[in-house]
Homo-oligomer: A and B are copies of this chain.
């Protein structure tokens, strides 16, 4: 293995000069720099990033820790990556598998401290567990749970999005609106917030919200949703609107309706949440809530950059506004 000291000897300079040429931290006059670069080339030298890290305390790497590499997370990741790169750092993704145990391990200070900054998507981790996370590494939380106020936190306007979706259905004449993937369990984050928005839209419109129409899902997959909605319909449940808390759930619902010859939007109107690209290409195309990934990415990176620059401003909570995208699965 070629080390920096080999390069220094080859170029007839000190190690510090080689280091300065490579990092650009200090000016090196052109002839010296050229000798160094020529030596680097001749020897095929590559810097040892681990040693640099141990010495300098920086990795120039940011980690985004997510439950899985899918869907919502890959959307956000693809948007965060270029912003992190603009700051001269790399982005890496790590996966937790959504088990709280694993989210905590990923948070283990040991693993956190190898990064200059961490974005942690909080799904399975409740407030109590987060309280225990002690680290000096800059960290921004992403997600819909409540988190301790000492963290910077970016979340969606969940309740408002759900309210928009449901109000749209009610305004288009729906009176029995299923909230697919909602829950009455107050503590559970996204599913509960979106159910709350569904209720609020009903209150605003003066339409009673039937709690029997709150239907939880074991997973926000099209498969699960397809099965659950199919069973409900077969059992005789009568609805004229479905607000699905995710687009994948909405897609399963659309298929269950189509299987039974129920016309969308004429018999049942459907709204999703996430604005997945695929939704645009269904017939009818899926009306949905756009979660504004770009703004989520921008806010996240802004907060993280601020911390990595050493700021000790008070933690911020950013609620990213969302918007309704009207397509064919609801009435004009």
Contacts and interface: CB of A to CB of B under 8 A. Distances in A.
Contacts of A71: 74
Looking at A63, A248, A252, A278, the one whose CB has the most chain B CB atoms below 10 A away is A278
B49 A111 contact: yes
Contacts of A111: 49, 90
10 contacts: A48-B110, A49-B110, A68-B74, A68-B78, A69-B73, A69-B81, A78-B95, A82-B97, A90-B94, A255-B282
Contact of A74 (B70, B82, B113, B255): B70
Interface of A: 44, 46-51, 53-54, 59, 63, 68-71, 73-75, 77-78, 81-82, 90-95, 97, 108-111, 113-114, 134, 221-223, 226, 248, 251-252, 254-255, 258, 277-278, 280-283, 285
B46 A50 contact: no
A277 B248 CA distance: 10
A277 B247 CA distance: 13
A251 B74 CA distance: 20
Nearest to A114: B49
A311 B97 CA distance: 31
Given A81-B95, A94-B92, A255-B283, A50 B54 contact: yes
Nearest to A257: B283
A92 B155 CA distance: 24
A109 B251 contact: no
Contact of A277 (B82, B91, B93, B221): B221
A73 B44 CA distance: 32
Given A44-B134, A81-B95, 13 more contacts: A51-B54, A69-B93, A70-B75, A92-B93, A93-B94, A93-B95, A221-B277, A222-B278, A251-B278, A254-B281, A255-B285, A278-B278, A283-B283
Contacts of A90: 94, 111
Contacts of A51: 54
A246 to B, nearest CB: 13
Looking at A90, A97, A248, A282, the one whose CB has the most chain B CB atoms below 10 A away is A282
Contact of A95 (B91, B109, B110, B226): B91
Contact of A252 (B97, B254, B281, B285): B281
B46 A109 contact: yes
